[in-house]
Amino acid sequence: MAVLETELLAVLDELRPLLEGFSHNIESGPLLPLDKNSMQELFAGLEPLLESGSPESLEFIELLRRVPGSENLIEQIENYNFDMALETFNALKTREL
């Protein structure tokens, strides 16, 4: 048990900076929505990635958090459900643009 505890504490120490960075982002307040031009650029870059089922679409999640109503899309991308994500994306794009 002592070895397990030592190893677990070592892992937790390595993960602590990630958790601190995450909590800092939460405390900084709500994210401001993207303007129309930024949203068009985001959608233009994300659409081909969703169409091809590319995991690179995960890189767009932080920007997507600034698009109202994108929660389902973010969850679908995180779950690698690109077919559903593309449908949700198209509905969101139609609504926002």
Close Cβ partners of 43 (under 8 Å, ≥ 6 residues apart): 89, 93, 96, 97
Q: How confident is the model at residue 24 (pLDDT cuts 50, 70, 90)?
A: very low
Contact between 46 and 57 (Cβ < 8 Å)? yes
Q: What is the pTM of this model?
A: 0.67
- Which two structure tokens, joined as six digits, stand for 37? 């031009």
- Which two structure tokens, joined as six digits, stand for 24? 């800092």
Whose tokens are 């929660």? That residue is 71
- pLDDT tens per residue, range 36-93: 899 999 999 999 999 999 999 999 999 999 998 999 999 999 999 999 999 999 999 9
Q: How confident is the model at residue 21 (pLDDT cuts 50, 70, 90)?
A: low
Task: Summarize the confidence of residues 16-26 as an average pLDDT.
Answer: 55
Q: How confident is the model at residue 11 (pLDDT cuts 50, 70, 90)?
A: confident
Cα-Cα-Cα-Cα dihedral of 51, 54, 56, 62, to 10°?
50
Whose tokens are 């995991």? That residue is 55
